[in-house]
Amino acid sequence: MALGAGEYGKGLPGSGGNGNIDAVLGEGIYNVGDVLTLIRGKHTIKVGGEFDKYYQNYTSWGDITSGHFEFNGGVTGIPYADFLAGDVFGWYVFEADPTSAHMKGSAGFASDDFKVTPHVTLNLGLRWQTQSGWTVSHNLFGNYDPVLPNTACSGCTGGILFGGQSDTAFGGNIKNLSAIQNGNYKEFAPRVGIAWSPRNNWALRASYGIFDAPRDAENYTDGALGLGLNPHNVGNGGYSNGSSPWQLVNGPPAGTVVFPTLQTLSPEIQNFNTAEYYPRNMPTTYVQQLLLGIQHQFSGGILLDTSYVNTRGRNLNFSTDIDQAPANLLGCSGFNCGNPNPIFNAIQAQIYTGYSNYNALQLRVQKRMSHGVNFQVNYAWSKSLDTGTGNGHGSGLDIYQDAYHPAANYGLSDFNSANTLVGQVVYELPFGQGRQFAMHGPLNQVVGGWRLSTIFQWHGGVPFTPVIQGSIADSINGINGGGMGPSIDHGGATLYPDQVGDPHASQHSVVAPPSPDQHFGIGGWFNPAAYANPVTGSFGNARRNSLIGPGYSNLDLSLGKEFTLTEAIRLEIRGDAYNAFNHVNYGNPDANVGITCSISNTLPPCGSGQGSPNVSDGSAGAINGPAGFNSNMRIIQLGARIRF
């Protein structure tokens, strides 16, 4: 149901719904496993196995079987009045086929903790894991196949193959499609570790392991990129601007809406504007992790822990368009004339060629409570690189700028922060009974027993990418005024500019003309004139995530005390100050450095001088607001609690 809230007038709230009352969403894992432990001398041996069944049941989260009604005020002038009178402006209802996806997995593993000497322990382990391909019940899915003969295009291959289709539909060239992808049964993951304690207050350790990641059904069915379903939601009726078929005051008409039988279409013409492709044989996503660490226990209960961590991800799933128009085909004007498969505007392929590399030096200092002080401080100096951070789950998706050169997307991870400092301190003020400055009686009740604590964190800035958006992107793509022609901006990829100068030339600048923002370090965060629009049909040379935004810091304070009312009842009072110093954390600046070109604008970079430095439009390089996370102003909270 939808009501036009904008036509209510003052004081009337909006109301509406989208008909997803009958939506189904359920996912989980059935797991059966056991471990046998055997101790023999210096060996502690563990052998085990498990069986998993992953499932996901859902219908599309949208207007499904409960229907959708619209009231626009066309009869009474007020949408809500039309609703009360039953004057429907429009309606439609969907027939939804609930989809159930499932995958099976099994694993066997063995490990041995071998105490070589009283000071040396060796750990050896091996895990073997299998995963079947995700299967969708009732064959309610479809997948693009790049070698599928397609009679709709002379000399073309590639089309949509739906679940359960017989290979006879394609001359016996295509096998029956019963699962989204084939299973993996050769996933061996070794692990080894060693710990050495030369003295009681020293410990050295090292470990290496491979860890597999199970496939997620939502990457195939409900993510930013999903397989077509056959059928999923099918519109079965509706009208708009017609006379109302019934008045709701008399109730809906008797009986049930009869849905028409869906016509089975020929496979050759079941092609869509954009196709999704998941290769049948997908490698297993896995992570290699290396850890080297040293611990030392100092007197006074202080522990120092130093570690080097290296994590490498391989076969990460990302998206690219295998129907991208090569640059040398730009300039033709036919419909999709430059695409290798002209039937499709884009063919989004979920490929497993992504990789990542994380290196970090991690320090931890910890002190147990003594002399009224307890603290823990963690610091990490790190660098994370990858070919893309989003994996398509939900709305997040990284698309390679150039499908033919995915390695060019390798750069800092979206979450990379070179320096991170996080800590907490608890300090018992030295006043009161049992403390350094002893007090008794009423004075102890008022002054003694207070505890001050703080939680603080500081992070270096996260990276961002200079981009080109708007009409200039169409110009670079080679799209003509009618929206025709091939596009290198394939499948929603973001275009990067050319870097022609130093982007840090004006960073944090306070040069004339002065502005209040510059005193806060948010004006001119980077120099937009360091970038230029690339020539038509080419990709910019600016690197992904090549600029770093402002850092983040926060400090919370808390002061509290307990009063003993009786032997069994205590009163606790406390005051908390979140963001105690009221510090503002700014978000990343506007990174759109492209210039909108028009017929009258013949100056570089829009005219013949394309490739010249861009001229800032006043927004590029400027920070326009606080960070989207943990950017609250100072909040002070007072509270009391009785404990009994």
pLDDT in tens, 235-292: 344 444 443 334 444 444 444 444 344 444 444 444 456 777 888 788 888 999 999 9
List own/partner pairs for 153-160 with CB under 8 A and 24 or more apart.
Answer: 153/341, 153/342, 153/343, 156/341, 156/342, 156/343, 157/341, 158/341, 158/343, 158/344, 158/347, 159/267, 159/268, 159/270, 159/271, 159/343, 160/228, 160/267, 160/270, 160/271, 160/272, 160/275
The band of 525, judged by pLDDT with boundaries at 50, 70 and 90, is: confident
Q: What pLDDT is stored for residue 10 in this prediction?
A: 30
Q: What pLDDT is stored for residue 35 in this prediction?
A: 95
Residue 97 has pLDDT above 90, yes or no: no
Which one-letter DSSP state was computed for residue 528?
Answer: G
Average pLDDT of the residues in 363-385: 95
The average confidence (pLDDT) of the chain is: 74
Against a cut of 0.85, is the pTM above it? no
pLDDT in tens, 533-562: 887 767 888 999 999 999 999 999 999 998
**Residue 525, burial from CB neighbour count under 10 angstroms (0-12, 13-18, 19+):** buried
Contacts of 159 (CB under 8 A, 6+ apart): 144, 145, 148, 149, 150, 152, 267, 268, 270, 271, 343
DSSP E strand stretches across 217-327 = 233-240, 274-277, 286-298, 302-321
Straight-line distance from the first to the last Cα atom of the chain, in angstroms, rounded to the nearest whole number: 51
Average pLDDT of the residues in 23-50: 89
Average pLDDT of the residues in 32-39: 96
Q: Measure CA 512 to chain center.
A: 40
Which one-letter DSSP state was computed for residue 258?
Answer: P
pLDDT in tens, 295-329: 999 988 899 999 999 999 999 887 777 877 765 55
Q: What pLDDT is stored for residue 540 in this prediction?
A: 84
Does residue 605 have a cis peptide bond before it, meaning omega lies within 30 degrees of 0?
yes
Average pLDDT of the residues in 102-106: 88
Q: What pLDDT is stored for residue 512 in this prediction?
A: 36
Q: Do residues 99 and 232 touch, judged by C-beta distance below 8 A?
A: yes
What is the percent of the chain with per-residue pLDDT over 90, rounded to a whole number?
30
Q: What pLDDT is stored for residue 508 in this prediction?
A: 46
How big is the CA angle at 61 (ends 59 and 62), to the nearest 5 degrees? 115
Work out whether strand 2-3 and strand 68-71 pair parallel, antiparallel, or are unpaired.
parallel
> What length does the chain have?
644
The total of other beta-carbon atoms located within 10 Å of residue 387's CB is 21
Q: What pLDDT is stored for residue 19 in this prediction?
A: 43
Residue 208 has pLDDT above 90, yes or no: yes
Domain coordinates of the chain in residue numbers? 422-600+610-643
Q: What pLDDT is stored for residue 289 in this prediction?
A: 96
84 three-class SS: helix
Q: What pLDDT is stored for residue 288 in this prediction?
A: 96
